[in-house]
Amino acid sequence: MLNERLKEARKQKNLTQTELANIIGVKPAEVSQYESGKRTPRYNVFIKMLDVLDMAADTALGRDQFVVSEDGEYTARIAKQDLAIISALKDYPNLYTLLYENPERNVKVLNNNISKLFPELKK
């Protein structure tokens, strides 16, 4: 998610990877690797990127939704996509239990079979 958000923010600022790299003091190949998800920026580089891209760390990290529980007992920062998944699971507690029991296996099953069973749901 970080890689996608950094790439999107760079494009919104109308910067090329080379231009961003020059501003933050890294090689263009590093910016490419950050945006492809092959590499994560070091802390000092990350901070420079956030400043140049005028982006909050929570937004870059996918913590852009602030959620408060109905009873007010807890708060959380969470990505919009993750909030959508959790909200959908709230309506299907049995599904949550099944997924929770063996998450690694269940993700593999979903990845291997969902497009075969439901071709309209493309990755």
Number of domains in the chain: 2
Residue 46 lies in a domain: yes
- Asked whether residue 14 falls in the same domain as residue 54, the answer is yes
Buried b (16+ CB within 10 A) or exposed e, 27-47: eeebbebbbeeeeebeeebbe
Residue 68 lies in a domain: no
Mean model confidence pLDDT for the chain: 87
The model's pTM is 0.58
pLDDT recorded at residue 65: 66
Provide the CATH number for the domain around residue 18: 1.10.260.40
Q: 25 lies in which domain range?
A: 2-60
- Asked whether residue 56 falls in the same domain as residue 103, the answer is no
Q: Which of 16, 43, 60 is the last residue of a domain?
A: 60
Alpha carbon distance 2, 35 (integer Å): 8
Residue 66's pLDDT band (cuts 50, 70, 90) = low
Phi-psi domain of 118 (left: phi exceeds 0; alpha: psi -120 through 50; beta: other)? beta
Alpha carbon distance 16, 45 (integer Å): 17
